[in-house]
Amino acid sequence: MTEQKRILIAVMITSFIGPFMGSSVNIAVPAMAENFNMMPDELTWAVTAFLIGSAATLLPFGRLADIKGRRRIYLQGLACICATTLVCAVVQNFLAFIFVRFLQGLSMSMIFGTSMALLVSCCGAENRGKTIGLSAACVYSGVSLGPFIGGFITDYLGWRMIFWLTGIALLINFFLIFKVKTDWYGAKDKKFDYIGSIIYLVMIVLFLYGLSDWTIHEFVHYMPFIAFILFLLFIYEQKKVASPLVDLSIFRNTVFTMSNIAALIHYSATFALGFVLSLYLQLVRGMDAFTAGGFLLIQPFIMTIVSPKAGALSDKFSSRLIASLGMGMMMIGLFAFSFFDKDTSFYLIGINLAFIGLGFGLFASPNNNAIMGAVEAKFYGVASSILAVMRLTGQAISMSLVTLLLSIFTAEAIESNYVDILLHSFKYIFILFGFLCIIALFASLMRGKENVKE
């Protein structure tokens, strides 16, 4: 097996495992809440802690990969994610579990920050969209099968088995990539910006934690404002340092900048959909985890089919139009969910999930292709990391918004009216997500016309 094939297979596997584990945890939340003796809305931290950990270190690890080697950092990330995933399978205390999930996110960022750069480094520009589309198909396959397989595992083997199985799969992947000897660099022998990395890490953690815990502790109200000050300091430091964490000049490219903004808002509006629908189907509609997981297959199944075709299409035609069409479809679907109640036909829910899945598939691959196609090869590592930062920060914001709204609505809830209040909160969550998609649609349309690839 050639090194290129090993890298392709390895990245495909991790592209599958990451979202598979995430969507499996979503469907297992009610069972986890019962095991830890917590309310289901409090288990948002099982997802949020992982996302905060990932987003906080993505950019530093992406830059470190450009300096030390993308394959090297990817391999080290695999080792760390194997260890933390297996620890998640055995830890018994809820706070300890959340902490390990945070460490798991830190470890996964070493993979998220390098996988796209490894793929793009291995394939030619003429196949970039197709390869990115294949990676996206693996992501959506993981999202698809996560609720279904995770629901089965949760009902019949226990939710901890999810972590055992994914940990073993990642361990196998480690030995696959271990035999690859070639490495790829984007800034070999450059100095690593430790000060900028620390500022960035603290900034992300303060912003996302402050947003998530807004209604619980008064002192966190100051965290997003401190994070904004740190953001300004980060920009200033990046302009002054000789070897910055991010070369800010790449943001002068309108296609790159607006495509990343569109990605950030898109994931902020869509990531928590699976989590909210998992609660809706199990707590409001009375499904078990396995049945709910099977039902939630509809959206990512459509995404899996559409995304490789959309990615290949963006190799020939404008990514802007294809991605914007997809964003518009997701906007309509999210607003439609705000009208659903406890008696809504499952057929209507399924049709709307398929509609959103089609929109998601049309948006993601062309948008990713536009981002990676807008930079020079030496910036692939940073561009890959920035794209991953947009994705994971958006996902963390999505979960933070859900955590915030659920905590507001359920603050005065008692057991007898908990489900009704939960359903009422979902309406406002979907309305908010729909409005975010409107903003993302404008960002997608404003990116400008990129060069059409021959």
pLDDT digits (tens, 9 = 90+) for 154-192: 888 999 999 999 888 888 888 888 877 877 777 777 888
Residues 299 and 142: beta-carbon distance below 8 Å: no
Of 49-63, 211-225, 267-281, 326-340, the one with minimum mean pLDDT is 211-225
Q: Would you place residue 127 in the very low, low, confident or very high pLDDT band (cuts 50, 70, 90)? A: low
Taking CA atoms, 314 is separated from 4, 196, 449, in Å, by 23, 35, 12
Nearest to 365 by CA among 436, 312, 438: 312
Confidence of residue 454 (pLDDT cuts 50, 70, 90): very low
Q: What b/e string do you get for 305-341 counting C-beta neighbours within 10 Å, with b at 16 or more? A: bbbbebbbbbbeebbbebbbbbbbbbbebbbbbeebe
Is 351 inside any structural domain?
Answer: yes
135-157: b (≥16 Cβ within 10 Å) or e: bbbbbbbbbbbbbbbbbbbbbee
C-alpha 134, offset from chain centre: 17
* For the chain, percent of residues with pLDDT exceeding 70: 90
Chain segment 245-296, per-residue pLDDT in tens = 888 888 888 888 888 999 999 989 988 888 888 888 888 888 887 888 788 8
In this predicted model, what pLDDT tens digit does every residue of 286-334 receive, in sequence order?
A: 888 788 878 888 887 888 788 777 877 776 777 778 888 889 999 999 9
Contact (CB, 8 A) for 362 and 309: no
Q: Are residues 375 and 297 in the same domain?
A: yes
On whether the pTM is more than 0.85, the answer is no
Q: How many domains, the chain?
A: 2
| pLDDT tops 50 at residue 453 | no
User: What is the C-alpha to C-alpha distance for residues 318 and 125, in angstroms, rounded to an integer?
Assistant: 15
Task: Enter the tokens of residue 385.
Answer: 């990391």
Instruction: Return the CATH number at 106.
Output: 1.20.1250.20
Q: Is residue 256 part of a domain?
A: yes
Per-residue pLDDT for 416 more than 80?
no
Q: How much of the chain, in percent, has pLDDT values that exceed 90?
A: 21
Find the domain containing 314 and state its range: 3-181+243-445
Residue 250 falls inside a structural domain: yes
- CA–CA separation, 69 and 118 (whole Å): 10
Span between the terminal Cα atoms of the chain, in Å? 30
In a domain, 188, yes or no: no
Residues 82 and 110 grouped into a single domain? yes
